[in-house]
Structure 1
Amino acid sequence: MQTEKVVQHIVSWLKDYLETSHQKGFVIGISGGIDSAVTSTLCAMTGYPLLNLEMPIHQEKNQADRAKRHIEWLKTQFETPIDSIEVELTNTFDALVAALPPTETTDKVNLALANTRARLRMSTLYYFAGLHNYLVAGTGNKVEDFGVGFYTKYGDGGVDLSPIADLMKSEVYEIAAFLGINTEIRKAKPTDGLFGDDRSDEDQLGASYDELEWAMTMKESGHQSEEFEGRQKEVFDIYSRLNRINQHKMVPIPVCDIPAEYK
């Protein structure tokens, strides 16, 4: 990958899109992870205002600390107007959970509540976007957004534009190294932070991003499960299943077309 040219292209694309939309800057949720770190840095490179939001909900301390240090790093690296706000959403989340009908705790309940966290953060991002006429910048990469659908519909998937969604996770890491993103972020295990513990993305997905990138490439090249064996077959099947069951996230919302003669 021609990293410098890719970075320049994304920064130019961000500036063009912002100017065309007649908005004034960007707002982004900072998690302490690699994707939000890279995306926020690319937004800062445009020279337009950037608002970084920390939105903890029973957040692991190490994740929150990485987010804070990244924001401080941004402020020292760029002359761009860079602001940050912490919005503590734990009490809001707990109040919503308390208002919901009591139910037995299951994996489905835990997943639904994890997605609820993401949707609370999306609402918060758009609150500030509306206040300042900013665009919400998404942080999803290609494997997450178009491979396995590893994001929350109308949560972290609810954005105005997606600067890194055509980049594999490995390419995001390449750009992070090029941009000088903090080593602690580059070495941290990827996690969505939606369960209030230290489980990683790999724990949830059953495969690493390097493995999923391989499977995505094989699938798009027309390969079939029976061509592989051992761990490769296992990973290919994991990817294929997630890609299949999460298609509802990746395709446009279906519209029921009414026949003209019925109108």
Structure 2
Amino acid sequence: MKTTKVISYIVNWLNDYLKNSGAKGLVVGVSGGIDSAVVSTLAAKTGSPVLLLEMSIHQAEDQVTRAREHIKFLTDQFGNVAGKTINLTSSFEALKSDLHADESHEKNNLSLANTRSRLRMTALYYYAGINNYLVCGTGNKIEDFGIGFFTKYGDGGVDISPIADLLKSQVFEIAKELKISESIQKAKPTDGLWTDDRSDEDQIGASYPELEWAMKAHEDHKASDFSGRQREVFDIYERLNKLAQHKIEPIPVCVIPKELLE
């Protein structure tokens, strides 16, 4: 990958989109992970106003520390960047109480994990609305178009997606070029939506390099050439890709035949 040219291309794309949209700037949620670190840095390089939000909900201390250090890293370098810390834990707990949420079942806990993501989306759009900013997504290609590893109307609820055509390995290449902190580059990928320290790989059952291989095999229509771990990873990818179509594809619209509307 021509990393420096890709960086310039994305920054120019962001600037062009902002100019054509009439929006004044960008808002990005910063989690302490590699994707949001890269996106927020690319946004900062546009020169347009950028607001970075760190939105804790029972967050692990190391995630909070990385997020805040990254925000400081950018605000120290770029005069167009501002940072804000918002603790949404009490809002989350209040909503759980109002919903009479039962945390005794894993399915309920998954719903609550997604609720965390949707609360953050609400905060991002609040600040986007009062500033006339666009919400900048942080999903990569594997997450957004491979296995649907995002929350519908949560971290999937965005206005623009600058890295959604990049594989996770390519995001890491860009992070290195942008001199993102080593603590972020070395941190195990996690969505940070659970009370324990489970990683993305723990949840998915495969690593990002494995998923990138499976995505290419899927695109090449190879389904019967594998055995052992390859077979296992390919089946994981195929299963999750199928389950995620309701996220990946546009919302189905019931189109009424014209003759029924006359």
TM bracket, shorter-chain basis: over 0.9
Letter in 2 for 1:70: H
Which residue in 1 is equivalent to 2:53?
Answer: 53
Provide the secondary structure at the position in 2 that maps to 1:227. Answer: coil
Query: 1:64-143 alignment to 2 at 5 Å?
Result: 64-79=64-79, 81-103=80-102, 105-143=104-142
2:228 aligns with one of 227, 230, 235: 230
Name structure 2 gaps, 5 residues minimum: none
Query: Cα deviation per residue 1:157-189 (whole Å; 9 max; x = unaligned)?
Result: 000000000000000000000000001000000
Q: Counterparts of 1:60 and 1:197 in 2: how far apart (Å)?
A: 8
Provide the secondary structure at the position in 1 that maps to 2:239. Answer: helix
Which residue in 2 is equivalent to 1:187?
Answer: 186
Query: Cα deviation per residue 1:85-111 (whole Å; 9 max; x = unaligned)?
Result: 111100000011011135362111010
Which residue in 2 is equivalent to 1:248?
Answer: 246
TM-score by length of 1: 0.98
Q: Counterparts of 1:170 and 1:104 in 2: how far apart (Å)?
A: 35
Q: Counterparts of 1:10 and 1:22 in 2: how far apart (Å)?
A: 18
- Residues 171 and 156 (structure 1), Cα distance of their counterparts in 2 relative to 1, 3 Å cut: same
Q: Counterparts of 1:222 and 1:102 in 2: how far apart (Å)?
A: 42
Query: 1:162-173 alignment to 2 at 5 Å?
Result: 162-173=161-172
Provide the secondary structure at the position in 2 that maps to 1:87. Answer: strand
Asked if the contact 1:57–1:196 (Cα under 8 Å) also holds between the matched residues in 2, the reply is no
Letter in 1 for 2:28: I
1:239 aligns with one of 220, 237, 240: 237
Asked if the contact 1:26–1:135 (Cα under 8 Å) also holds between the matched residues in 2, the reply is yes
Asked if the contact 1:143–1:213 (Cα under 8 Å) also holds between the matched residues in 2, the reply is yes
- Residues 101 and 230 (structure 1), Cα distance of their counterparts in 2 relative to 1, 3 Å cut: same
Query: Cα deviation per residue 1:194-227 (whole Å; 9 max; x = unaligned)?
Result: 0122110000000000000000001101100x31
Letter in 2 for 1:72: K
Range moving further from structure 2, 96-105 or 239-248:
96-105
Cα offset for 1:57? 0.3
Q: Counterparts of 2:42 and 2:225 in 1: how far apart (Å)?
A: 40
TM-score by length of 2: 0.98
Which residue in 1 is equivalent to 2:43?
Answer: 43
Asked if the contact 2:30–2:67 (Cα under 8 Å) also holds between the matched residues in 1, the reply is yes
Letter in 2 for 1:140: G
Q: Counterparts of 2:241 and 2:111 in 1: how far apart (Å)?
A: 19
* Number of residue pairs matched by the alignment: 261
Name structure 1 gaps, 5 residues minimum: none
Q: Counterparts of 2:151 and 2:235 in 1: how far apart (Å)?
A: 22
Q: Counterparts of 1:231 and 1:253 in 2: how far apart (Å)?
A: 34
Range moving further from structure 2, 81-90 or 44-53:
81-90
Which residue in 1 is equivalent to 2:62?
Answer: 62
Residue 6 of structure 1 pairs with residue 6 of structure 2: yes
Cα offset for 1:76? 2.1
Cα offset for 1:122? 0.2
Cα offset for 1:153? 0.3
Q: Counterparts of 1:104 and 1:42 in 2: how far apart (Å)?
A: 38
Q: Counterparts of 2:225 and 2:105 in 1: how far apart (Å)?
A: 36
Which residue in 2 is equivalent to 1:32?
Answer: 32
Which residue in 1 is equivalent to 2:151?
Answer: 152
Asked if the contact 2:190–2:198 (Cα under 8 Å) also holds between the matched residues in 1, the reply is yes
- Residues 104 and 181 (structure 1), Cα distance of their counterparts in 2 relative to 1, 3 Å cut: closer
Asked if the contact 2:103–2:109 (Cα under 8 Å) also holds between the matched residues in 1, the reply is no
Asked if the contact 2:114–2:151 (Cα under 8 Å) also holds between the matched residues in 1, the reply is yes
Cα offset for 1:42? 0.2
